[in-house]
Amino acid sequence: MRMVDLITKKKEGEILTDEEIQFMIDGYVKAEIPDYQMSAMLMAICFKGMTDHEMAVMTGAMAHSGDMVDLSAIEGVKVDKHSTGGVGDKTTLVIAPIVAACGGKVAKMSGRGLGHTGGTIDKMEAIPGMKTSLPREEFFDIVNKIGLSVIGQSGNLAPADKKLYALRDVTATVGSIPLIASSIMSKKLAAGSDSILLDVKTGSGAFMKTLDDSILLASKMVAIGEHEGRKTVALITDMDIPLGKAIGNSLEVIEAVHTLQGNGPEDLTSVCLKLAANMLHLTGMGDVETCEQMAKEAITSGKALQKLIDMVEAQGGDSRVIKDTSAFAKAPLNYEVRSDREGYITHMNTEKCGIASVELGAGRATKESVIDYSAGIILEKKIGAYVKKGEVLATLYAADEKMFADAEKLLLEAYTISEEKSVIEPLIFARVS
Ligand code: URA
């Protein structure tokens, strides 16, 4: 078999056989197929797509390219969750403790920030001392004892995805439904949970910009999960506006803590309750409404916050910053971005908000960049608000004054302010199961 023939086949819109897909994934992981050939294949897939069967075979080959984690050492129903990536998306830090407080088991492997989107592992590392890499036995042990642990993906979890993702990131081949579905589902299948909740983001801050594409992506991922015997549900959630007010690592941990204390922003609280309810439902704890009630009680009783504290302590972190968020190190400088006109905020280009936070040091410009955990943005005004000229739209936090100019420019471009009243979109568009 020759890779060049497979590229030609896909370029002509033909269907690859199971053997051809297996050959391509194996060969790429073993470095027998070079990046340039795989890049050409990825671009052909972007243009010609894949059948559901091709996508399922590719996902299986990618999942089996490394360890298939066996979570049987953890008692109870294990439930996982994956977001397709967003701006201000700190939901895992809220939901995992809620689910654990209600008796669910969350053994979660999360990722780092990617492009304009943030990542849970970077946020967790904003907590001093927090370990995000643990030996497997310790990881299982923590989940058995306290019900949750969140760590980074181990080196050998779906290595095919690791290589393909890095290549897609630099070859303009991220935004393809078969490639996103196989990337996410290969990791989820390899990570071993019994059930999976997918948070598929839609809008200007998501990889899928339209609702139709997001629903299509969700249905493909749900089909792959169910085919592999995992109970899988997807919620399509709004990413046409940043979630909550905080963008940036320690700022987002602080907002997650406030949410667990019952004082979080309304949109974030509401999305987290729905996601947590669906995770609990997947573990068999009742219908979604009953589970949402349980999730609310986990917040009001303080049990969910205690679970976050337990996890931080179990993973070596300093829980003083969770018990008193004012103990987090603060950015030395801040800058207020003021509106240059009066009117209603009708739209926010959420990708630009994410890029602005990267400019401030909250994300990586290159693979080698070092994150400034205290950097980021607090959005003082969001869609629906009426602002006067000169009113503060957002406060920027950074370590270097020079960073403010570009971030301010991006944010001012991100806000659309007009005379017309704004339409508020729903937070959750659909549930796919
Ligand atoms: N998240 C992933 O893990 N993979 C993708 O392709 C996109 C988002």
Of the residues 187, 220, 230, 258, only one is catalytic, namely 187
Residue 207 Cβ < 6 Å to ligand 1: yes
What are the sequence ranges of the domains in the chain? 3-49, 71-323, 332-418
Residues 83/235, Cβ–Cβ less than 8 Å: no
Whether ipTM exceeds 0.90 = yes
Identify the DSSP state of 81. E
Q: Please name the fold of domain 332-418.
A: Aldehyde Oxidoreductase; domain 3 (3.90.1170)
pTM, to two decimals: 0.93
Could you tell me which residues come within 8 angstroms of residue 426 by beta carbon, excluding any fewer than 6 positions away?
238
For residue 151, give the H/E element and its range.
strand 148-152
| Nearest CA-CA partner of 345 in 382, 314, 317, 301 | 382
* pLDDT tens, residue order, the chain (433 aa): 999 999 999 999 999 999 999 999 999 999 999 999 999 999 999 999 999 999 999 999 999 999 999 999 998 888 999 999 899 999 999 999 999 999 999 999 988 877 788 899 999 999 999 999 999 999 999 999 999 999 998 778 999 999 998 898 788 898 899 999 999 999 999 998 889 999 999 999 998 999 999 999 999 999 999 989 999 999 999 999 999 999 999 999 999 999 999 999 999 999 999 999 999 999 999 999 999 999 999 999 999 999 999 999 999 999 999 999 999 999 999 999 999 999 999 999 999 999 999 999 999 877 678 899 999 999 999 999 999 999 999 999 999 999 999 999 999 999 999 999 888 889 999 999 9
Which architecture does CATH list for 3-49? Up-down Bundle (1.20)
Testing ligand 1's pocket by substitution, the residue of 55, 168, 176, 184 carrying the most ligand atoms inside 8 A of its CB is 184
State the Cα torsion 366-372-378-384 to the nearest 10°.
10
Q: Please name the fold of domain 71-323.
A: Pyrimidine Nucleoside Phosphorylase; Chain A, domain 2 (3.40.1030)
Beta strands 79-83 and 195-202 are parallel
Residues 118/242, Cβ–Cβ less than 8 Å: no
23 Cα to the center of ligand 1, angstroms: 22
| Nearest CA-CA partner of 116 in 31, 25, 56, 204 | 204
d(CA 337, CA 355): 15
